[in-house]
Structure 1
Amino acid sequence: MKFLFVGTHPENTGAATHFVALAQGLVANGHEVDAVLCPDSLIWHGLAYSGVRRHAGRFRNALDPRGYAAVRRVIRDAQPDWLVGNFGKEYWPLVLLGRTHGIPVALFRHRTPAMKRFSAFFLPRLAQRFFAVSRHARDAYLAKGVPPHAVQVLYNPVNTALFRPDPARGRAVRSSLGIPQDAVVLGYAGRMHGGKGIFPLLEAAQQAMRAEPRLHCLWVGDGPDAAALRAAASTMPDTAARHHFTGWSDDTTGYFSSFSMLAFPSVATETFGRVSIEAQACGIPVLASDIGGVPESLSPGETGRLLPPGNVPAWRNAILDLCDERTRDHMSQHARSFVQQHFSTDVIAAQFVAQLDAAAHRADSPAVSRIDSPAR
Structure 2
Amino acid sequence: MRGPLLWVGTNPGGGGTETHMITLLRALAGQGVECHALVHPQGKIAAALAASPVQLHPGIFHNSADPRGIAALDRALRQLRPQLLVGSFSKEYWPLALLSRLHRIPLLLFRHMDLRLRPSTRWLLSHWPLRLVAISRYLQQRLRAQGIPAARVEYLPNPVRLADFVPPSGAREARRAELGIGDEVFLLGYVGAWHRGKGIFTLADAIDAAHEQDSRIHGLWIGGGAHEAEFRQYLAGKPWQHLLGWTDAVTPWYGAMDALALPSVEPDTFGRVLVEAQAAGLPVLGAEIGGIPEAFAPGKSGLLLPPGEVGAWREAILALAQDLAMRTRLAEEGPVFVQRFAAQRVAEEFLRSVEAPRSIA
Aligned residues: CA RMSD: 1.6
More divergent stretch after superposition (200-209 vs 241-250):
241-250
Q: Give the letter for the 2:268 counterpart.
A: E
Write out per-residue CA displacement over residues 322-346 of structure 1, whole angstroms, 9 at most, x where no aligned residue. 1122211111111112112x10101
Query: Contact (CA 8 Å) 2:206, 2:311: kept in 1 or not?
Result: yes
Distance 1:302 1:165 in 2: 22
The amino acid of 1:154's aligned partner reads L
CA deviation vs aligned residue, 1:142-184 (integer Å, no higher than 9, x gap): 1122111111111211011212243423432222222323321
**Cα shift readout 1:276-327 (whole Å, capped 9, x = no counterpart):** 1111111111100000111111101111111000111110111111112221
Identical columns (%): 42
Q: Residues 188-239 of structure 1: CA distance to partner in whole angstroms, max 9, x if unpaired?
A: 011111111111111110011122222211100111222222222225xxxx
Q: Is the 8 A contact 1:107 1:127 kept in 2?
A: no
Residue 41 (structure 1) aligns with: 43
Report the 3-state secondary structure (helix = DSSP H, G, I; strand = E; otherwise coil) of the residue aligned with 1:162.
helix
Aligned partners of 1:176 and 1:48: how far apart in 2? Answer: 32
Match status 1:335 vs 2:334: yes
| AA at the equivalent of 1:356 | V
Match status 1:76 vs 2:78? yes
Any conservation in 2 of the 1:270–1:292 contact (CA below 8 Å)? yes
> C-alpha displacement at 1:51, in angstroms?
1.0
Measured in 2, the distance between the counterparts of 1:181 and 1:271 equals 35
Matches within 5 A, 1:105-254: 105-234=107-236, 240-254=238-252
Which amino acid in structure 2 is aligned with residue 214 of structure 1? R
- Letter of the structure 2 residue corresponding to residue 317 of structure 1: E
- Corresponding residue SS for 1:24: helix
* Aligned equivalents of 2:207, 2:192: Cα separation in 1: 17
Structure 2-normalised TM-score? 0.95
The residue identity in structure 1 corresponding to 2:217 is L
Query: Is the 8 Å Cα contact of residues 59 and 90 (structure 1) preserved in structure 2?
Result: yes
Counterpart Cα distance in 1 of 2:97 and 2:159: 24
- Cα distance in 2 between the residues matched to 1:32 and 1:281: 29
Task: Specify the SS of the correspondent of 1:190.
Answer: strand
Give the Cα–Cα distance (whole angstroms) in 2 for the partners of residues 137 and 167 of structure 1.
37
Take 1:51 and 1:94, find their aligned partners in 2: how far apart are those partners? 23
Aligned counterparts, 1:82-101, within 5 A: 82-101=84-103
Is 1:267 the counterpart of 2:261? The answer is no
SS at match of 1:12: coil
Gaps of 5+ in 1: none
1:279 aligns with 2:281: no
Check whether the contact 1:124–1:151 (CA below 8 A) recurs between aligned residues: no
Please give the alpha-carbon distance, in whole angstroms, between the structure 2 residues aligned to 1:116 and 1:130: 16
Tell whether the 8 Å contact from 1:6 to 1:36 is kept in structure 2 after alignment: yes
Q: State the distance in 2 between where 1:332 and 1:79 align.
A: 47
Q: Which letter maps to 1:310? A: G
Following superposition, the deviation at residue 124 of structure 1 comes to: 4.2
Partner of 1:347: 345
* Equivalent AA in structure 1 for residue 201 of structure 2: F
In 2, distance between residues paired with 1:345 and 1:35?
18
- Given that residues 6 and 85 in structure 2 are in contact (C-alpha distance below 8 angstroms), is that contact kept between their aligned partners in structure 1? yes
Using the size of structure 1 for normalisation, the TM-score is 0.91
Query: The residue matched to 2:164 in structure 1 has which SS?
Result: coil
**Post-superposition offset of 1:47:** 1.2
Letter of the 2:80 counterpart: A
SS in 1 for 2:224: coil
**Does residue 362 of the first structure (1) align with residue 361 of the second (2)?**
no
In 2, are the aligned partners of 1:162 and 1:253 still within 8 Å (CA)?
yes
SS in 1 for 2:350: helix
Between the aligned partners of 1:143 and 1:84, the Cα distance in structure 2 is 24
> Aligned AA for 2:358?
R
Q: Is the Cα–Cα contact under 8 Å of residues 165 and 281 in structure 1 kept in the other structure?
A: no
8 Å contact from structure 2 (residues 161, 343) kept in 1: yes
Match in the other structure for 1:258: 256
SS at match of 2:161: coil
Q: Number of aligned pairs? A: 358
Structure 1 residue 258: deviation in Å?
A: 1.7
